[in-house]
Amino acid sequence: MSEIYLSRLFYASTATEKYSSAELGNILKSCRKNNPALNITGMLFLGNGYFLQCLEGPRGNINTLYRKILIDERHTDVQVLEFREVADRYFGEWTMKYVGSINVISKILKETGLKEFNPYLVDNYTLNAMVEAFRDYNEPQVAAVADAGGVKNKKGGFDILGMFKRS
């Protein structure tokens, strides 16, 4: 499928309730089931009662999905933070990546000087840096790596410090 009009949409919204891990799992399961048919990839983050989501794909498909998002009762005050055509996807490997670690947002808050996570208050530069951090972040996990001396533990992560330095 041609992606002549590949677009990226960032939006923020306010959760209407506190969601359990199981409920978030159901949201992600639905995204991961439905997004491939629309050629949509993206990322979802829930923190401090706010959703931050990035959707990538053909412009028309993003618009179709966004209209459904607007009427979803699991959140309110849905606001577009950025919508533009792009050359490449940030989240091409994920039908919907979820970043669930508080560690990633703690590092972002420290680097940006924000007191708390509130996606409605970030500028486009910070928004894109945050999403790059989410893209590059891997949930810490123990991976067995065989070596001559036995097994080592290896953790995933990202370099947040360099992401907020303006050039």
Quote the pLDDT of residue 61.
95
> What domains appear along the chain, each with residue ranges and CATH number?
6-164 (3.30.70.100)
In the structure encoding, which two tokens stand for residue 83, read together? 């919508």
In the structure encoding, which two tokens stand for residue 68, read together? 């459904």
Quote the pLDDT of residue 77.
96
Helix axes 102-112, 124-136, angle to 10 degrees: 150
Quote the pLDDT of residue 145.
29
Distance (Å, whole) CA 127 – CA 87:
18
Quote the pLDDT of residue 154.
33
- Report the length, in residues, of the chain: 167
**pTM exceeds 0.85, yes or no:** no
Distance (Å, whole) CA 49 – CA 19:
9
Average pLDDT along the chain, 167 residues, taken 10 residues at a time: 78 92 86 91 89 94 94 94 93 84 74 83 84 75 32 37 41
Quote the pLDDT of residue 3.
57
Quote the pLDDT of residue 59.
95
Cβ pair 73, 23 in contact under 8 A: no
Phi–psi pair at 7, nearest 5 degrees: -130, 160
